Each structure stands twice: as C-alpha cells, then as structure tokens.
Amino acid sequence: MSDRVEACTLGFTDGAMRYDAQRIKEAGPFLFDPGSDGLGAVPVAQGGRQAAWFVQGEFGQAVLRRYRRGGLMARISADRYVWGGADRTRSFAEFELLRFMHDKGLPVPRPLAAGYWRSGPTYRAAILVQRIAGVRPLASMLDTGSPAVVAMAIFAMHEAGVWHADLNAYNILLDQQDKAWLIDFDKSYRKVLSAERKHANLLRLRRSLVKVAGSRGLQWWEELARDYRLLTAAKAHI
C-alpha cells in the first residue's frame, strides 16, 4: 500500500469532507463529532482553544480540531468564516497543504480528513490529523532539544515553499528520538519564499521563544538561526 495520501471527497447535508482513503474506509461527518461512539474523544489539555480532542478509530490515533477564531474577531463569531468556495475553506486548504508536505516526506502529521458545514454566506470547519506519538512541545524542551534539528525541519519546510502562519514554540514538537515535527498549518500556504520572508518566519519563532523563556529562549533561537544560516550557505554551494 502506498504511503501517499489518497484524497477523496464526500458530500453530505449542508457540507462536504475530504479524506484519506488509505486510512479511512468508512467516511462521514461523524468523524468530526467528539461525541461519536467509538472515537473515545478526550479534550486536549493545552492549546486548541477548547476545540481539540484526542480521538481514535480505524485510522489509528488522531487529533480532531474544530476551527475557532481568536482575538477580537471571536467576539463577532467564534467559529464561522466567510464562504469563498470549498477549496478555500480553512479545513480543505490545510488538508491539501499537509497532504503536499506529507507526500514530500516533510515532518508533519498525516492529514486524515477535513470537513465543512455551510450556512448561507458562512461556514464552520474541522480537521482530523494523525497524532504523533511521544512528542512534547519545543516550549518545554529547551534544555534537551537540539536547535540544529529544529532548524533543519524549518529549512526543509521553507525549501518546499511553505510559509507557516504561526511558527511558535508550541507548534514545533520533539519526539523521543529528538526528531522535530511541525504542526498547525491553518492559514499557512505555498509560494516562492524570499530570504526576507523566511527570516520573518524565524523572527516569529524568536518572539515566541522569548515570551516562553526570556533570555534562555533568545539564546536558543540564536543557536537555531546560526544552524539555519549554515544550511542556507551549504545549499548555495551545491
């Protein structure tokens, strides 16, 4: 069986879903309902804006996340977005970006399913992705995590032309083999990235690390930035 994500689309009342036919044989909107029998949903303790759950099923261990707004926009609508077509929904866009990255061998969770529910000019959405075993966020791993490993993961992402909309210390995970994983690609996209654009992504991570760990976070980022520059220089000499 191929390890590539085999995307299929299924329509249902007031919406549709896209899913990985390699991992999901029985598709339906129940996959996005944490109350569904058999999913064994457990709320994610940190992050997720109280709209993420650990679940399990024929697809294995996964994370179910409903899209919710943050900041001032949440006061207008907590979970509704303006409709602009199926492929422009937050869920389908993230599914396709993860699919692209997974199939290129980048360190991201495998996308399993994405759904949306339309109501007039707005929609709600959710996504189901593979759960990565034995990981902890970079924010809690600064004393043992390797800046070089994280730099390599970010460099590979940028080389693939992917810009991460929220590159922070909680969206980078380290597993027990010290491999770095990148998660949460909502609002992220593919494009030709300039050196300035790549550096801006790294600066976003710097702000996060400083917020989490102060001077220690800054020192950690400086080591990461140095390793990233070494990777860039090595590529330039190939």
Indicate if 166 belongs to the active site: yes
**15 and 124 fall within a common domain:** yes
**86 and 179 fall within a common domain:** no
pLDDT, residue 2, reads 63
Residue 102 has pLDDT above 60, yes or no: yes
Helix (H, G, I), strand (E, B) or coil at 195: helix
User: How far is CA 52 from each of CA 41, 46, 79, 162, 192, rounded to the nearest angstrom?
Assistant: 9, 9, 13, 24, 32
CATH number at residue 64: 3.30.200
Closest CA to 39 of 49, 47, 29: 29
Of 82, 97, 130, which closes a domain? 130
Q: What is the pTM of this model?
A: 0.94
**17 and 126 fall within a common domain:** yes
**28 and 89 fall within a common domain:** yes
Of the pLDDT bands very low, low, confident and very high (cuts 50, 70, 90), residue 160 is very high
pLDDT, residue 1, reads 47
**φ/ψ (deg, to 5) at 15:** -175, -160
User: How far is CA 184 from each of CA 1, 167, 187, rounded to the nearest angstrom?
Assistant: 27, 9, 9
**102 and 184 fall within a common domain:** no
pLDDT of 166-208, one tens digit each?
999 999 999 999 999 999 999 999 999 999 999 999 999 999 9
Residue 220 has pLDDT above 60, yes or no: yes
What is the distance between the alpha carbons of residues 71 and 79, in angstroms, rounded to a whole number?
12
Cβ atoms 172, 107 nearer than 8 A: no
Whether 226 is in a domain gets the answer yes
pLDDT of 44-91, one tens digit each?
876 545 689 999 999 999 999 999 986 555 556 779 999 999 999 999
**153 and 224 fall within a common domain:** yes
**55 and 106 fall within a common domain:** yes
**34 and 119 fall within a common domain:** yes
Of 130, 163, 182, which closes a domain? 130
**121 and 204 fall within a common domain:** no
Residue 237 has pLDDT above 70, yes or no: yes
Cβ atoms 97, 89 nearer than 8 A: no
User: How far is CA 128 from each of CA 46, 64, 78, 144, 163, rounded to the nearest angstrom?
Assistant: 17, 5, 19, 30, 21
User: Of residues 33, 79, 166, 186, which has the active-site annotation?
Assistant: 166
Whether 102 is in a domain gets the answer yes
Which residue range forms the structural domain that includes residue 206? 136-236
pLDDT, residue 177, reads 93
**Count of structural domains, the chain:** 2
**194 and 232 fall within a common domain:** yes
**Tokens found for residue 224:** 């990461």
Q: What is the mean pLDDT of residues 90-106?
A: 98
Of 130, 153, 178, which closes a domain? 130
**147 and 227 fall within a common domain:** yes
pLDDT of 113-141, one tens digit each?
999 999 999 999 999 999 999 999 999 99
Whether 52 is in a domain gets the answer yes
**120 and 163 fall within a common domain:** no
In sequence order, what are the residues at sequence separation of 6 or more whose Cβ sits closer than 8 angstroms to the Cβ of residue 110? 5, 20, 23, 98, 102, 129, 130
Whether 228 is in a domain gets the answer yes
pLDDT, residue 78, reads 79
pLDDT, residue 45, reads 76
Whether 58 is in a domain gets the answer yes
CATH number at residue 202: 1.10.510.10
Q: Report which DSSP code applies to 171.
A: S
